[in-house]
């Protein structure tokens, strides 16, 4: 079971997938592509791991325990 956490006004929206359920993996992959198309950045980590263990990823990895999506940044 993996989870994507997409930062938003609710804190984050969670999307989960099950490695034994291909349909959930496909759905999660579609959401991954949708978020990537918005220039957001994805980071994979083990659940609860500190930032040092978070890894930038550019394609969907179903084996990831948790993927955190953050927004593009800009000068303020």
Instruction: State the distance between the two ends of the chain, measured CA to CA, in whole angstroms.
Output: 38
Considering the complex, what minimum distance in angstroms separates the CB of residue 11 from another protein? 3
- Contact between 43 and another protein (CB under 8 A)? yes
For another protein, the binding residue among 3, 12, 27, 61 (CB under 8 A) is: 12
Q: Measure Cα distances from 61 to 10, 67, 76 in Å.
A: 25, 9, 32
Rounded Cα distance, 12 and 9, in Å: 7
With CB under 8 A as the contact rule, the residue among 23, 37, 48, 59 that binds another protein is 48
Q: Using CB under 8 A, list all residues that contact another protein.
A: 5, 7-12, 41, 43, 48-52, 54-56, 68, 70-76
């Amino acid at each position: 079971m993996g989870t994507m956490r997409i930062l938003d006004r609710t804190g984050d929206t969670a999307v989960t997938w099950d490695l034994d359920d291909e349909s959930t993996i496909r759905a999660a992959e579609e959401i991954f592509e949708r978020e990537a198309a918005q220039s957001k950045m994805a980071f994979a980590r083990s659940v609860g791991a500190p930032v040092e263990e978070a890894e930038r990823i550019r394609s969907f990895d179903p084996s990831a325990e948790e993927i955190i999506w953050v927004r593009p940044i800009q000068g303020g």
